[in-house]
Amino acid sequence: MHIAKNDTVEVIAGNDRGKRGKVLKVNPKSNRVVVEGVNFIHRHTKARRQGEQGGIIEKEAALHVSNIMLVCTKCNKGVRIRTKILADKTKTRTCTQCGEMIERRS
């Protein structure tokens, strides 16, 4: 998967299209990521005990990686990336638009 934790990504599909956020969680098995401030779901909770407060809990739901793009800081937009494996086996990701390397911050 080309998206890693702490990446800045842009949403390219759905209700949150155009929104940007930081990747909080990555699930490589399901190809889903949780992005900060994006794709909120509302869960209604009821007060179960006395003194407990019921209400609405807002929480980010996971998005499929196909719905997001990595943001290139140089292009300042969501871009396609190219993955290259160097001689020492480190993986690099470069922007296909400007060739800038996008480092992993996790």
Residues that bind Zn ion (CB under 5 A): 72, 74-75, 95, 97-98, 100
State the DSSP code for 52. P
Closest approach of Cβ 4 to Zn ion, in Å? 17
Closest approach of Cβ 58 to Zn ion, in Å? 33
Q: Which residues pair with 21 in a beta bridge?
A: 9
CB 66 within 8 A of CB 58: no
Closest approach of Cβ 101 to Zn ion, in Å? 10
Closer Cβ to Zn ion, 31 or 94, answer by number: 94
Q: Cα–Cα distance between 65 and 25 in angstroms, integer?
A: 12
